[in-house]
Amino acid sequence: MAAANTGRVFQFKLVLLGDSAVGKSSLVLRFVRGQFFEYQESTIGAAFLTQTVALNDTTVKFEIWDTAGLCSDRIWLADQRNTSSASRRQSTGC
Ligand X SMILES: Nc1nc2c(ncn2[C@@H]2O[C@H](COP(=O)(O)OP(=O)(O)OP(=O)(O)O)[C@@H](O)[C@H]2O)c(=O)[nH]1
- Shortest distance in whole angstroms from residue 91 CB to Mg ion: 18
CB closer to ligand X out of 20 and 58: 20
Our CA angle for 47, 52, 56, nearest 5°, is 155
> Which of helix, strand or coil describes residue 80?
helix
Residue 21 interface partner, choices ligand X, Mg ion, none, CB cut-off 5-8 Å depending on type? ligand X
70 binds ligand X (CB under 6 A): yes
DSSP class of 40 = P
Q: Binding residues for ligand X, per CB under 6 A? A: 18, 20-26, 37-40, 42-43, 68-70
